[in-house]
Structure 1
């Protein structure tokens, strides 16, 4: 039903962000929040930039593999679901995924997000900057990847 909308967004080079991962709203079925729900869209519209919000948490691996498999899929790291921003981001980037996997496969695919007003942007930025990742990878996550997605120059 939305193919015309997706086609137009693709023509306009307009990225689309989809809520993936946990929803605290009872009437929202989690099945529709799974990152793999977007796979057909990513495959059907290969030039449509698709952003999976919250890195699909708790389905982080599935979201990560979508970003690895499809050139047009990106991950937004907004939202905190466990502990403080620093604890959550550290867990996702070092326990669920690994710094080496991120550097090798996702350095160009993750964009900063804060989930404001639920989270404070400065706390999220501090959490990301504290990760054991190379400076170049952190720069991509914090700004360069967003500029690329938005087709903007540095």
Structure 2
């Protein structure tokens, strides 16, 4: 009887340890995802089975959302994350958009956030009339990607 109890305990412990090796990722989790040979912060939008996730890269237009395999999801985000430079394909699209967009990098604007206008500066161009902005007087964690509907000239 002691041998059976010991074997069951050993199997339970082994199962617990082996299941702990794989991190669990769920919808809404903030994670780091390998994208174009770098690691970017993203949020899981949906799961597509146990090995695929649809993700949205934080600070990027939804056109870059994609379904990724489990092995590209590296970890949960803990603490502050430094955003790497945008991938080449994003920079190329932004460069093309910059030729015709109304605002340019460095332009001072006012941006709507929750029905209030705040002073901001354009710090990046992410697409056709889509901008990365920095709210003046606030930390980088408040930077946002916005379209023309939320921007006014100063």
More RCO (CA 8 Å, sep 6+): 1
TM-score of the pair, normalised by structure 1: 0.24
- So what's the TM-score if we normalise by structure 2? 0.24
Q: Larger helix proportion, structure 1 or 2?
A: 1
- Structure with bigger strand share is 2
